[in-house]
């Protein structure tokens, strides 16, 4: 009995290791420019820094993406859409936050429209400092994420699932209600 | 045919920046469309009322990310007009170099950005690689690649570093020799032309109706409606440059004008480096430390020619240490909101991203 | 479709055979590329330079900088034991903190890499070491152009030396409104000066009042800790300016002149309203104050605002002590002193002039008629110099001379005997007062002046204020520095003074920084003079205190030992303040008077509870 | 029979490994064109396996079944393909079999993505079908010409005929116009620009692919590799004389595929109406000219 | 001051009642009018070559209990810019739309309505939210709105655990 359990466990572990290897070396990011830090992403993606060397590339829809990049400040309006997008992504999924605005509000700490700390609403795997981070810093941040995936430390998505109620509570506190009809402006 | 609703953005590869177009389409034709802005609304105008005149320098570049220097320039111009500051001669020329470099960088980005909507990603890869060199130059002059915080009221924050002129000239010569390649790849590309020629028209009446400025205006009216010519600031009246114009505005014309403006910018920078005098680069705004600067009461509007059109700030001072009110006129506000509502319908969904791109819409400056 | 251009896009295929422009992986990960000069990366802070003024925190547009008090940084004059902590969850790398840093200790490095999954890693106290611990290259540093401080003091207009040296007209004209606001705007409100000021005046607050052009609020702030602002606005030793954060790299804010600007520009009726509004509660008791110098008047003011009945006893004909009889009128006009004193009197303080305690009234009497006694008799006598010939009638002591001269200036006495060629021994502020008074008197009498100052100190060591030296030189005072007087040369026939014989002083302080003058006795010379004035220091006079009281007190080198509120050790009903316990200037006196008022109030209330 | 099935799986494995590696190499070459270095050559493997290791989202059974059907159909098609003389089902390599089998896979995909309910997917599928109509017609005309000329529709026989006397008997040389037309159609089949309209990330967010993530996306990527393999192999067999050696096959395949990709990266994409207009203007005319030459003049036979 | 501006202002003065004037720049004039004149003024200046409405903005003069509407128009031929200004009551902010004169004003009016609460009669869309979503407070650009307080109330701020007050702590 024990033997088979152990065997299964070993197989699971082995599979886990293999999938982590692939996941670490092929990270697709969602092309969603939430804030100003996104202006350095094209630099990191294109010829000068060529992010594809890390196995990273942009993807068109949240379904296909592995990593969600929060490039800077999030206004409430964007936060709502980010939550939609994050919840659409298939697991495992990661979240990288750029710049000070995601940490503690940044320069918009006193703005009526911008949230202060992102980790209240979504789990974050890596923060990258700098306003805005240079492409090198961005690349290094992704490299850290790759290391974390390899070491099994990038578990933000698990945390989100386990503490969904808490996150939901915060989200609702900021947003009022999570899903709204956005035809109000037409 | 049934009308279905499609979203172009906010998360969409064809969208520049964080905004959303709600499109109601029948078949492939857009019947109604609305821009949903506000995804980048940060309440700048409010935040600026809470910070001192100098501190706002950290805030204002963020209003338009691809070309932050125009923000600094108009803000500085307003303070200078209110406080009657005489800017040192050299600072004017440095400002011009910075502004034109920024225009080049924004044009390169927009020109390469055509790769998104048309699928010609190679153009984007090339243009971004060239743009990176401008950013490196900016980093050396101002200390940062994107948010320069360099043009301040009274002049510029620091003098140019030694030897930067040669680096700029090297880059300009290099870029000048590379520009024909862009022409071959994008402007002369038959597949791009198939998308852009006679498509996404912008007649002169529409320009006047919406209040479109910049390349859109010049490509439709055929007049040199460029603030650098009409109401010169810095030292644009002293340099010799042309304003490319056209009388038929389709997507191709606007791209061509953008392309020609790059040559003019290169030309202006070269002249400026040549003609720039020495001397001081910053005049005092007010007495005392920056914490205590007061700007005399008054209400003034200044505008500069950004890469996308007239970019202006309306600044109100009540004589205190903080602005009483700052209103920002984003260059693409008219076409971005009213334009999308009125003139995007009728196009095919294939053209929607291209419409957005060639109209030069920058969502952060609309949202503020 | 244009036939010519159908192949145009394929021209770009040539890049298949060219080198890519991509940055190598190693340059990104292993050895990240160095940023350009000027790069605004993470902060470093040179703790040796940092004075903890907190201006960076003040200017930060993102509120990212918090000043944290460090237990391992000494709390010294001219600095605060605080250091900035930076929240990279706020910082936008605008470098305004660098541009405004008063001491120039903050700069930005070329470092730009900081990634972590722990938000705590982004909260950082910059030191000389960078955030990554790797060798640092400086990025953005401030230069003259980018500096956000105003390092130059607004010019204060002075009466020209030709006009002033013949009269006692006040030299400093005072700020105009524009000048004052401009000068006030240089202040960064770091509050370092408040700590240094003996009276802990609310300096940033009243400077802000000037800047806001709200002068009655300024007066209010002044009177919170100083009832002699008009006097202090002129002749304070302004230690605050020495500590001023702006003085780290530039001219200190003209705190004294701003104070003067406030009191000079508030109309009397408004002034009075503010001053009288300070009265807080009704104390019950009677306090005698001996001496009407700054300490005495300050104590009198605060005691009467607390509701006590106050009697001030003054030996001389007018209240004010050294303000009346010490400071020359070109520095402190009489009506200024009158103004301050009149407001104190308006509170109900009784000033008994021409009443010499010890002679006209005894201490015992005072003790019996009052609940507490505050002594602030100052240092009225000049310290003698023990060299041959000092007992000559033409060797004159500074203090009596200044008093006589002051009486002459206000017209209540005739001019003291002045000769044509004089030497002043000493180089302190008092010596300069003497010398500059002499210049004026000589000019009035002879139309020219010939005053020589002789002192042990050399140029750098002169203890007087720098303005005194500058202005004195302008007025024509000559100096013979670094010399020790050996004897007064007296004409044996006439008995008149002929000069002072001095020898060179080779060293003033020894290696332990102790006062230990060494002389080269071979390098002698005689400074010719008809009169010699001694101004080498003052000393107290405690003779009015009965011996049995004195025996209970501890007096050490002319200073009475007291607790922090001026209560004399061993004699609980006796309080002391001013020069006789600490310091040698007006502002210390004001501070002592304020403290003593608090001490006396406490003492009396405690006593009352007991009884 | 067993050897046949084994050969079939062998071909499947070869097709997958070769096409996926080539995709990686292709990304490097395109990177070079774009003045950058590009990813590692085996990046495409990592991407596919990564996608397979993720969880998927389901939008109902049509969605899931369609993916299986697409992959299964394509894999079956590959097994029928003769490669370098190997064939799992000799004699069953009639060209028309591939046309029909390919349709099964495409149908599965269309079914599945429409099943996701996303309007963009619907638009994408509609565009894909429209485009198919566009490129199939000229392609078929050219192929019919070849079949008519060579009197056989068996791929291996067509290859054998072309191998008769070296390069001169290749259809490339004998029917250059037809080859050009077929190549343009191949670009359409492969979804290369300017005929990328049905994916069009910037317009309809990758069209049919919009709702796929995780496992389904991985399967679709494998399917895409197989489909590419079939299409390019068909072209190589029909116009470049097939191949007798593995090396020859790989070399021809490489040229065809990389050229397509380089062309794709230098061009912008057409709108769907332009695609149809283009195919019905230039290639169809050329194709008809070619067919007429074959039928009436006997050229190229 | 520019001669063209002088003539222009004189011309306008002869036609409308000018409440105040100011010349912040050489090529710019700020003219105050009564609110009832604004439409005819704008129509007139538009006929005089000021074909572009650069921006419509609003200033909250809370001490005077007034909103100031500012229409900035530009003449591309001469390079002259006019600020056409008027003040309206702050407690009941209502004005009439100018979209019939400058169609481009439509969204500027929505903007002003959203951020100041000024209602523009005749512009039916101006009542809809544009930039904000689910907004639950007073229009945010009014002077009595405190954005910091709003932010503090709604979005939590990070409290760092690190204590730097003693030596030996991480630096």
Å from E8 to nearest chain A CA?
40
Per-residue model confidence (pLDDT) at position B193: 85
Q: Region of D91 please: left (phi>0), alpha (psi -120 to 50) or beta.
A: left
Tell me the CB-side half-sphere exposure of residue D250, using CA atoms within 13 A.
Answer: 11
Closest residue to C127, CB basis, from E160, E165, E171:
E171
Tokens 């007296």 belong to C490
Q: Determine what percent of chain C is predicted with pLDDT higher than 90.
A: 0
Instruction: Residue B122: name the closest of C402, A156, C51, D30 by CA.
Output: D30
pLDDT of residue D301: 61
What is C161-276's CATH number?
1.10.1060.10
- Residue C43 has φ and ψ, to the nearest 5°, of -85, 150
pLDDT, tens digit, for every residue of C204-260?
Answer: 888 888 888 888 888 888 888 888 888 888 888 888 888 888 888 888 888 888 888
Angle between helices D246-266 and D214-239 (to 10 degrees): 110
- Domain presence at residue B7: no
Cα separation, C302 vs C343, in Å, equals 12
Whether there are 3 or more C-beta pairs closer than 8 Å between D and A is yes
Contacts of C184 (CB under 8 A, 6+ apart): B288, B292, C207, C208, C210, C211, C253, C258
The domain defined by C286-380+540-610 folds into: FAD/NAD(P)-binding domain (3.50.50)
Q: What is the pLDDT of residue C379?
A: 84
Looking at the partner chain, which of E128, E137, E140 has a beta carbon nearest the beta carbon of A184? E128
Contact C104, C38 (CB under 8 A): no
Q: Per the structure block, which two tokens stand in for C187?
A: 């202040």
Sequential pLDDT tens for chain B (368 residues): 678 888 877 777 767 778 888 888 887 888 888 888 888 888 888 888 888 888 888 888 888 888 888 989 999 999 999 888 889 999 999 999 999 999 999 888 888 888 778 888 888 888 888 888 899 898 888 888 888 888 988 888 888 888 888 889 999 999 888 888 888 888 888 888 888 888 888 888 888 888 888 888 888 888 888 888 888 888 888 888 888 988 888 888 888 888 899 999 999 999 999 888 888 888 888 888 888 888 888 899 999 988 888 898 999 998 888 899 999 888 888 888 888 888 888 888 888 888 888 888 888 888 88
Q: Cα(A24)–Cα(D27) distance, rounded to whole angstroms?
A: 19
- How long is chain A? 186
Residue B115 structure tokens:
């790769």
The half-sphere exposure of E30 on its side-chain side, counting CA atoms within 13 A, is 18
Report how far residue D272's alpha carbon sits from residue B194's, in angstroms, rounded to the nearest whole number: 12
Domains of chain A, earliest start first = 27-175 (3.40.50.12280)
**Cβ-defined contact of B6 to D119 (cutoff 8 Å):** yes
Sort B310 into a burial class: Cβ within 10 Å, 0-12 / 13-18 / 19+.
buried
Q: Which of A49, A131, A140 sits opposite C92 (nearest CB)?
A: A131
Q: What is the pLDDT, as a whole number, of residue D299?
A: 67
| Residues in a beta bridge with B328 | B313
Residue B142 domain-assigned (yes or no) = yes
Residue B27 domain-assigned (yes or no): no
Instruction: Report the mean per-residue pLDDT for chain C.
Output: 83
Task: Tell me the chain A residues in contact with residue B17 when contact means C-beta distances shorter than 8 Å.
Answer: 33, 38
Instruction: Determine the Cα–Cα distance for residues B221 and B243; give it in Å rounded to an integer.
Output: 12
Domains of chain E plus CATH, in order, are: 3-154 (3.30.460.80)
Which residues have C-beta within 8 Å of that of residue D287, sequence separation ≥ 6? D137, D138, D139, D141, D142, D145, D177, D178, D181
- Within 8 A of D213 by CB-CB distance, chain A residues are 61-65, 89-90
| Among chain E residues, CA nearest to A107 | E148
Q: What does the pLDDT read at residue B301?
A: 92
Model pLDDT for residues C78-122, shown as the tens digit of each residue: 888 888 888 888 888 888 889 888 888 888 888 888 888 888 888
CA distance B50 to B209: 35
Q: How far is CA E157 from CA A78, A104, A129, E152, in A?
A: 19, 6, 18, 7
Confirm whether B314 is domain-assigned.
yes
What is residue B329's DSSP assignment?
A: E
Q: What's the gap in Å between the CA of C30 and the closest CA on chain D?
A: 18
Domains contained in chain D, number = 1
What is the DSSP secondary structure assignment for residue B214, as one 8-state letter?
T
Distance (Å, whole) CA C600 – CA C285: 10
Instruction: Give the domain extent around D229.
Output: 2-297
Question: How far, CA to CA in Å, does D19 sit from each of A180, B330, D44, D221, D225?
Answer: 46, 49, 10, 11, 6
Q: Which helix (H) or strand (E) holds C508?
A: strand C497-509
| Beta strand spans in chain E (E) | 18-25, 28-33, 52-61, 66-74, 81-89, 94-96, 119-121
Mean pLDDT value across residues C324-332: 82
| Least confident window among B248-252, C340-344, E166-170 | E166-170
- Spell D261-288 as b/e; 16+ CB within 10 A means b: bbbbbbbbbbbbebbbebbeeebbebbe
Which residues does residue E18 pair with via DSSP β-bridges, in sequence order?
E33
Residues 6+ apart with CB under 8 A from B310: B213, B214, B227, B303, B304, B329, B331, E54, E74
* pLDDT per residue as tens digits for the range A37-87: 888 888 888 888 888 888 888 888 888 888 888 888 888 888 888 888 888
Cα separation, D264 vs C170, in Å, equals: 89
Do D and E touch, counting CB pairs below 8 Å (3 needed)?
no
Task: Name the β-bridge partners of C503.
Answer: C484, C524
Quick one: pLDDT at residue C3?
Answer: 45
Cα(C111)–Cα(C98) distance, rounded to whole angstroms? 16
* Residue A181 touches chain B, beta carbons under 8 Å: no
Using alpha carbons, select from B147, E158, B52, A113 the residue that is nearest to residue C87.
Answer: E158
* CB-based contacts of C493, cutoff 8 Å, min separation 6: none
Q: Specify whether the CB–CB gap between C42 and C125 falls below 8 A.
A: no
pLDDT, tens digit, for every residue of E21-73? 888 888 888 889 888 888 888 899 888 888 888 888 899 998 888 899 999 99
CB C262 within 8 Å of CB C229 = yes
Contact C415, C447 (CB under 8 A): no
Q: Is pLDDT of C578 > 70?
A: yes
Mean pLDDT over C371-383 rounds to 83
Q: What DSSP character marks residue A108? A: G
The span from the CA of C378 to the CA of C580, in Å, is 5
Q: Is the peptide bond before D95 cis (omega within 30 degrees of 0)?
A: no
- Substitution target in D36, D193, D264, D274 with the highest count of C β-carbons within 10 Å is D36
Instruction: Tell me the whole-structure pTM to 2 decimals.
Output: 0.87
Q: Using pLDDT thresholds of 50, 70 and 90, give the confidence band for residue A148.
A: confident
Structure tokens at D58: 């389901």
In contact, C435 and C329? CB cutoff 8 Å: no
Q: Using the beta-carbon criterion (under 8 Å), do D263 and C21 form an inter-chain contact?
A: no
Residue C237 token pair: 């030793």
The encoded tokens of residue B326 equal 């700052």
Residue B314's pLDDT is what?
A: 92
- Specify the residue for token string 């009052």: C370
Please name the member of A25, A52, A64 whose beta carbon is closest to the beta carbon of D213: A64
In this complex, do E151 and A117 lie within 8 Å of one another by their Cβ atoms? no
What per-residue string of b and e applies to C50-84 under the rule 16 or more CB within 10 Å gives b? bbbbbbbbbbbbbbbbbbbebeebeeeebbbbbbb
Burial of B269 (0-12, 13-18, 19+ CB in 10 A): buried
CATH number for the domain formed by residue range(s) C381-538: 3.50.50.60
d(CA D291, CA D285): 10
**Which part of chain C has CATH 3.50.50.60?**
286-380+540-610, 381-538
Of D34, D268, D270, the CB nearest to B125: D34
Q: Please, which chains are in contact with C (at least 3 CB pairs closer than 8 A)?
A: A, B, D, E
The pair of structure tokens assigned to C40 is 């605004």
C476-529 pLDDT, tens digit per residue, is: 888 888 888 888 888 888 878 888 888 888 877 877 778 787 888 887 888 888
**Domain C25-124 has what CATH class?**
alpha beta
Q: What is the ipTM of this complex?
A: 0.84
Helix (H, G, I), strand (E, B) or coil at B13: coil
* Confidence at residue C611, expressed as pLDDT on a 0 to 100 scale: 62
Give, as one character, the DSSP assignment of residue E92. Answer: S
> Closest Cα partner for D217 from D43, D83, D47?
D47
Q: How far is E11 from chain B (nearest CA, A)?
A: 22
Q: If you search the block for the tokens 């994408």, which residue do you land on?
A: D124
Size of interface A-B (CB pairs under 8 A): 101
Tell me what pLDDT residue A61 has. 82
Q: What CA–CA distances, in Å, run from B174 to B167, C21, C603, D43, E170?
A: 11, 14, 86, 34, 48
Residue D282 has pLDDT above 70, yes or no: yes
Tell me whether the omega of the peptide bond preceding residue A132 falls within 30 degrees of 0, making it cis.
yes
Q: Is the peptide bond before D194 cis (omega within 30 degrees of 0)?
A: yes
Six-digit token string for C156: 């204060």
- In our burial notation (b when 16+ CB lie closer than 10 A, e otherwise), range B194-229 reads bbbeebbebebebbbbbbbbbbbbbbbbebebbbbb
D277 touching A (Cβ < 8 Å): no
**Is residue B22 included in any domain, yes or no?**
no
Name subunits touching D (3+ CB pairs < 8 A).
A, B, C
Contacts of A143 in chain C (CB under 8 A): 29
- Beta-strand runs (E) in B111-232: 151-152, 155-156
Report pLDDT digits (tens) over D147-188.
887 778 787 777 777 777 777 777 777 778 888 888 888 888
Q: Are B291 and C96 in contact (CB under 8 A)?
A: no
Nearest to C402, CA basis, from C306, C311, C454, C331: C331
Predicted confidence at residue B339, as pLDDT, reads 86
Say whether A47 and D214 touch across the interface (CB within 8 A): no
- Using DSSP, state whether D33 is helix, strand or coil: helix
Q: How many domains does chain B have?
A: 1
Q: Record the tokens describing residue A67, joined without a space.
A: 């990593």
């Amino acid at each position: 009995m024990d033997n088979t359990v152990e065997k299964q466990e070993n197989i699971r572990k082995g599979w886990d290791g293999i999938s982590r290897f692939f996941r670490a070396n092929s990270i697709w990011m969602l092309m969603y420019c939430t804030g100003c830090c996104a202006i350095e992403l094209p630099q990191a993606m294109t010829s000068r820094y060529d992010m594809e060397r890390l196995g990273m590339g942009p993807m068109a829809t949240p379904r296909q993406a592995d990593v969600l990049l929060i490039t800077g400040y999030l206004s409430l309006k964007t936060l709502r859409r980010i939550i939609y997008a994050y919840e659409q992504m298939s697991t495992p999924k990661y979240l990288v936050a750029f710049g000070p605005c995601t940490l503690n509000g940044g320069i918009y700490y006193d703005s009526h429209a911008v949230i202060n700390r992102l980790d209240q609403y979504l789990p974050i795997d890596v923060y990258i400092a700098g306003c805005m981070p240079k492409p090198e810093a961005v690349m290094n941040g992704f490299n850290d994420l790759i290391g974390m995936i390899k070491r099994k430390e990038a578990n933000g998505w698990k945390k989100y699932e386990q503490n969904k109620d808490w996150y939901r509570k915060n989200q609702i506190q900021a947003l009022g209600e999570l899903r709204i009809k956005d035809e109000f402006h037409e | 045919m049934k009308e279905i609703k499609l979203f172009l953005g906010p998360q969409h590869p064809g969208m520049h920046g964080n905004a959303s177009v709600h499109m109601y389409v029948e078949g492939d034709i857009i019947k109604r469309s609305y821009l949903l802005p506000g995804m980048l609304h940060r309440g700048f105008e409010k935040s600026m009322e809470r910070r001192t005149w100098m501190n706002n320098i950290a805030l204002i570049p963020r209003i338009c990310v691809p070309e932050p220097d125009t923000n600094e320039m108009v803000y500085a111009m307003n303070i200078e007009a209110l406080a009657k500051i005489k800017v040192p001669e050299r600072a004017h020329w440095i400002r011009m170099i910075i502004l034109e470099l920024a225009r080049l960088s924004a044009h390169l980005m927009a020109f390469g950005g055509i790769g998104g909507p048309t699928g010609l990603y190679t153009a984007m890869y090339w243009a971004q690689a060239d743009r990176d060199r401008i950013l490196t130059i900016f980093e050396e002059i101002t200390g940062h690649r994107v948010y320069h915080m360099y043009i301040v009221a009274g002049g510029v924050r620091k003098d140019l570093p030694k030897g930067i002129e040669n680096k700029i000239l090297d880059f300009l010569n290099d870029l000048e020799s590379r520009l024909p390649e862009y022409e071959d790849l994008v402007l002369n590309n038959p597949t791009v032309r198939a998308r852009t020629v006679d498509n996404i028209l912008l007649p002169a009446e529409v320009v006047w109706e919406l209040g479109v400025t910049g390349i859109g205006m010049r490509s439709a009216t055929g007049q040199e409606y460029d603030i650098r010519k009409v109401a010169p600031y810095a030292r644009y009246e002293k340099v010799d440059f042309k304003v490319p114009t056209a009388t038929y505005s389709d997507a191709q014309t606007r791209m061509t004008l953008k392309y020609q403006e790059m040559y003019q910018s290169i030309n202006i920078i070269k002249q400026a480096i040549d003609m720039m005098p020495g001397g001081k680069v910053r005049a005092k705004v007010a007495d005392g430390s920056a914490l205590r600067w007061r700007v005399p009461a008054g209400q003034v509007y200044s505008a500069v020619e950004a890469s996308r059109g007239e970019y202006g700030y309306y600044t109100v001072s009540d004589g205190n240490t903080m602005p009483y009110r700052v209103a920002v006129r984003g260059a693409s506000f008219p076409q971005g909101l009213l334009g999308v509502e009125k003139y995007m319908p009728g196009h095919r969904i294939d053209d929607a991203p291209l419409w957005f791109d060639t109209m030069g819409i920058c969502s952060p400056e609309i949202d503020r | 479709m244009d036939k010519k251009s159908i192949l145009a896009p394929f021209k770009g295929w040539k890049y298949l055979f060219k080198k890519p422009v991509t940055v190598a992986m190693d340059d990104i990960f292993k050895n990240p590329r160095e940023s350009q000069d000027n790069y605004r990366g993470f902060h470093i802070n040179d703790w040796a330079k940092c004075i903890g003024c907190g201006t960076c925190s003040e200017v930060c547009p993102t509120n990212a900088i918090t000043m944290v008090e460090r237990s391992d940084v000494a709390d010294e004059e001219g600095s605060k034991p605080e250091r900035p902590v930076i929240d990279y969850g706020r910082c936008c790398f605008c470098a305004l903190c660098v541009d405004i840093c008063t001491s120039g200790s903050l700069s930005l490095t070329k470092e730009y890499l900081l990634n972590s999954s722990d938000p705590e890693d982004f909260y950082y106290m910059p030191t000389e070491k960078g955030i990554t611990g790797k060798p640092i290259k400086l990025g953005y540093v401030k230069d003259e152009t980018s500096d956000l401080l105003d390092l130059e003091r607004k010019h204060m207009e002075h009466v020209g030396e030709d006009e002033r040296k013949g009269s006692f007209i006040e030299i400093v004209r005072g700020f105009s409104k524009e000048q004052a606001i401009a000068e006030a705007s240089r202040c960064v409100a770091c509050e370092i000066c408040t700590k240094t000021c003996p009276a802990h005046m609310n300096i940033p607050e009243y400077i802000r009042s000037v800047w806001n052009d709200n002068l009655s609020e300024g007066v209010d702030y002044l009177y919170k800790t100083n009832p002699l602002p008009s006097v202090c606005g002129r002749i304070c030793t302004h230690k605050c300016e020495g500590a001023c954060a702006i003085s780290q790299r530039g001219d200190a804010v003209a705190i004294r002149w701003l104070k003067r600007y406030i009191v000079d520009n508030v109309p009397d009726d408004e002034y009075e309203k503010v001053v009288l509004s300070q009265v807080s509660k009704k104390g019950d008791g009677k306090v005698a104050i001996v001496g009407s110098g700054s300490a005495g008047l300050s104590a009198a003011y605060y005691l009467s605002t607390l509701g006590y009945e106050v009697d001030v006893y003054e030996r001389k004909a007018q209240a004010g002590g050294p303000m009346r009889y010490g400071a020359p009128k070109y520095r402190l006009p009489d009506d200024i002193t009158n103004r301050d004193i009149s407001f104190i009197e308006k509170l109900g303080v009784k000033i008994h002039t021409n009443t010499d305690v010890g002679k006209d009234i005894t201490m015992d009497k005072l003790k019996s008629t009052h609940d507490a006694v505050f002594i602030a008799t100052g240092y009225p006598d000049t310290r003698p110099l023990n060299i041959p010939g000092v007992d000559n009638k033409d060797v004159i002591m500074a203090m009596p001379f200044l008093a006589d001269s002051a009486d002459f200036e206000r017209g209540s006495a005739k001019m003291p005997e002045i000769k044509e060629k004089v030497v002043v021994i000493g180089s302190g502020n008092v010596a300069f007062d003497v010398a500059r008074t002499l210049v004026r008197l000589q000019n009035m009498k002879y139309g020219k002046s010939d005053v020589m100052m002789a002192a042990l100190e050399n140029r750098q060591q002169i203890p007087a204020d720098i303005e005194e030296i500058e202005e004195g030189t302008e007025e024509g005072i000559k100096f013979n520095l670094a010399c020790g007087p050996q004897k007064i040369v007296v004409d044996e026939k006439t008995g008149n003074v002929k000069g002072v014989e001095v020898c060179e002083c080779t060293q003033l302080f020894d290696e332990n920084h102790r006062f230990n003058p060494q002389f080269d006795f071979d390098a002698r010379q005689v400074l010719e003079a008809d009169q010699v004035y001694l101004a080498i220091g003052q000393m107290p006079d405690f003779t009015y205190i009965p011996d049995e009281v004195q025996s209970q007190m501890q007096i050490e080198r002319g200073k009475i030992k007291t607790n922090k509120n001026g209560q004399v050790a061993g004699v609980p009903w006796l309080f002391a303040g001013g020069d006789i316990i600490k310091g040698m200037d007006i502002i210390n006196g004001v501070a002592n008077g304020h403290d003593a008022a608090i001490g006396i109030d406490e003492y009396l209330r405690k006593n009352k509870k007991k009884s | 029979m067993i050897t046949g099935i084994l050969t079939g799986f062998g071909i499947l494995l070869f097709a997958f490994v070769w096409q996926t590696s080539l995709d990686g190499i292709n990304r490097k070459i395109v990177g070079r064109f774009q003045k950058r270095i590009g990813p590692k050559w085996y990046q495409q493997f990592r991407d596919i396996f990564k996608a397979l290791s993720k969880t998927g989202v389901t939008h109902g059974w049509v969605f899931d079944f369609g993916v299986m059907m697409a992959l299964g159909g394509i894999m079956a098609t590959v097994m029928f393909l003769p490669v370098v003389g190997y064939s799992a089902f000799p004699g069953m390599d009639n060209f028309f079999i591939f046309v029909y089998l390919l349709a099964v896979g495409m149908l599965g995909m269309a079914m599945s993505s429409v099943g996701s309910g996303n309007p963009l997917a619907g638009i994408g599928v509609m565009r894909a079908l429209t485009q198919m109509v566009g490129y199939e017609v000229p392609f078929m005309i050219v192929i019919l010409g070849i079949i008519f000329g060579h009197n056989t529709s068996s791929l291996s026989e067509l290859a054998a005929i072309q191998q008769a006397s070296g390069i001169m008997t290749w259809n490339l040389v004998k029917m250059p116009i037809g080859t050009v037309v077929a190549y343009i159609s191949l670009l359409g089949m492969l979804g290369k620009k300017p005929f990328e309209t049905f994916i069009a990330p910037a317009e309809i967010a990758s069209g049919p692919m919009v709702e796929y993530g995780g496992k389904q996306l991985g399967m679709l990527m494998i399917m895409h590799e197989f489909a590419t393999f079939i299409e390019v192999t068909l072209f190589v067999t029909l116009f470049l004389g097939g191949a007798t050696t593995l090396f020859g096959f790989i070399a021809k395949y490489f040229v065809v595929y990389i050229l397509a990709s380089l062309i794709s990266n230098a061009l912008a994409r057409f709108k769907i109406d332009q695609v149809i207009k283009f195919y019905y203007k230039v290639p169809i005319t050329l194709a008809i000219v070619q067919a007429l030459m074959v039928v009436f003049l006997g050229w190229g036979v | 001051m520019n001669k063209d501006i002088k003539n222009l202002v004189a011309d306008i003065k002869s036609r409308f009642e000018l409440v105040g004037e100011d010349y912040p720049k050489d090529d710019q004039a700020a003219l105050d009018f009564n609110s009832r004149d604004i439409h005819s003024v704008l129509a007139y200046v538009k006929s005089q070559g000021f074909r572009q409405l650069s921006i419509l903005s609003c200033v909250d003069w809370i001490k005077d209990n007034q909103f100031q509407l500012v229409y900035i128009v530009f003449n591309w031929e001469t390079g002259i810019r006019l600020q056409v200004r008027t003040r309206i009551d702050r407690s009941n902010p209502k004005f009439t739309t100018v979209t019939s004169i400058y169609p481009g004003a439509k969204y500027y009016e929505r903007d002003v309505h959203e951020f100041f609460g000024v209602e523009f009669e005749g512009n039916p869309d101006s009542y809809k939210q544009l930039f904000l979503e689910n907004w639950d407070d007073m229009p945010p650009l009014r002077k009595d709105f405190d954005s910091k307080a709003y932010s503090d109330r709604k979005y939590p701020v990070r409290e760092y655990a690190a204590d730097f007050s003693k030596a030996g702590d991480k630096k």
